[in-house]
Amino acid sequence: MTEVAVIGTGAIGRDLVGKIHRSPVLDCALVAGRNPESEGLKHAARLGYPTSAEGIDAVLAAGPFPIVFDATNALSHKEHWQLLKDVDTLLIDLTPSRVGDMVVPTVTGTRAPAARDVSLISCGGQAAIPVAHALAGRFPVSYLEVVSTVASRIAGRATRLNLDEYVATTQTALTEFSGVRDTKAILNISPAVPPATFRTAIHAVVPGASATEVRAVVAEAAERVRAFAPGYRVLACEVNGDRVVVSLEVAADSDVLPRYAGNLDIINSAAILVAEQHAARPVVVGG
C-alpha cells in the first residue's frame, strides 16, 4: 500500500478520503484541515484515519508522503507546491491553480506522470476535454466552448472565490489538449431544488461535420471516460450546419457525495487514477 495525505476537508477532500478508503493500493496516512470541528476531519476520523487541523504544516511534519492530494484552493496550492517541491512527493492538485502538469486520464494516457506536481485542471475540464480532444482529432474544429453547471449546494467557498482561475485554467487546458486556439469556458451555479446533476455542454464550430460521424466520435470518447467514472453520459448530441452541441451529465458514484455532485466525482476519480498509476510505477534504484 502507498501512503497518501489529503489537505483540505471540504466536499472534495471528504470524497477523496472515501475513494482512497475504497482503493486497493492507496492508504490514507493523514487528513489535514484548518478547522478541528470540520465535518471533513470528523469523517476521516470515523473511517479511522489520522487527522490534524494544522494543514500543510502537519503534512510537512509527518511526511514525506509519496503522494499528497491538495483539495484546498488555487492560492494555497501555490504555497503548498513551494513547500513540497524539494520533497520526494507527487503533489496532485484538485484546485484550478494551473501550477502543475495538466492531466486528463483518457487523453494523457495511463502512464504515471513524470511531473511532481500534476493538475487535474477543473471539473468542467475533466468532463469536456475527452470529447473536445476526440472531436478536434477527427474534425477541423475552429472554435470550442465549454459551459458547465454545478449545483449550488455543492459549490463551496473555494469554488466560488476561484471562478476566475476556473475559467482561465479550463480555457488553457482546452487549447492544450485540442490544439484549438480559440476556446472559452463558462461556469454556471444552479440553485435548482432538488439540485441539478452536474452537466457540461460543449459547443464547437466544425466545418463539414457529419452528424453520424460526430455522434460516433463522441460516443467512443464517452465510453472511455465511463471506464473510471461510470456516471458519465451523453444527454444530447446535435449537429446543425457547422455547429455541434454535445451535452453531458456526470452523476456521482460515491459513498460520500450525493448523486448530483458529479463535478467532484469526475475530478476525484481522475485524481485517484493518477495516484494509483503512480503507486504502481516501477521503483528506479539509484535513478
The one among 236, 255, 280, 281 contacting another protein by CB under 8 A: 236
The one among 27, 243, 255, 280 contacting another protein by CB under 8 A: 243
Minimum CB distance to another protein smaller for 96 or for 113: 96
DSSP string, 236-284: EEEEETTEEEEEEEE----SSS-TT-HHHHHHHHHHHHHHHHHHTSPP-
**Catalytic residue list contains 28:** no
Nearest approach in angstroms of CB 158 to another protein is 11
Three-state SS annotation for 64-78: CCCEEEECCCHHHHH
Backbone angles phi, psi at 224, to 5 degrees: -70, -35
191 lines the binding site for another protein (CB under 8 A) = yes
Nearest approach in angstroms of CB 44 to another protein is 26
Q: Which stretch binds another protein (CB under 8 A): 57-65, 84-92, 114-122, 235-243?
A: 235-243
Name the active-site residue from 41, 123, 187, 251.
123
Cell numbers found for residue 225? 471516460
182 lines the binding site for another protein (CB under 8 A) = no
81 lines the binding site for another protein (CB under 8 A) = no
CA separation for the pair 86, 139 (Å, rounded): 43
Question: Distances from the Cα of 210 to the Cαs of 7, 43, 217, 223, in angstroms?
Answer: 46, 49, 11, 20
The one among 14, 80, 98, 199 contacting another protein by CB under 8 A: 199
Nearest approach in angstroms of CB 270 to another protein is 22
Closest CA to 245 of 220, 191, 209: 209
Minimum CB distance to another protein smaller for 192 or for 227: 192
Nearest approach in angstroms of CB 132 to another protein is 13
Minimum CB distance to another protein smaller for 191 or for 230: 191
Nearest approach in angstroms of CB 192 to another protein is 4
CA 58 to centroid of chain Cα atoms = 24
Minimum CB distance to another protein smaller for 108 or for 152: 152
Over the range 210-230, which residues count as b (16 or more CB within 10 Å of their CB) and which as e? eeeebbebbeebbeebeebbe
98 lines the binding site for another protein (CB under 8 A) = no
141 lines the binding site for another protein (CB under 8 A) = no
147 lines the binding site for another protein (CB under 8 A) = yes
Cβ neighbourhood burial of 78 (10 Å; 0-12, 13-18, 19+): middle
Sheet with 101-102, strands from edge to edge, namely 51-52, 26-32, 2-7, 67-70, 90-93, 117-119, 101-102
Chain residues in the site for another protein (CB under 8 A): 143, 145, 147, 149, 152, 157, 160-161, 163-164, 166-168, 184, 186-193, 196, 199, 201, 203, 205, 235-236, 238, 240, 243, 245, 247
Query: Which residues carry out catalysis?
Result: 123
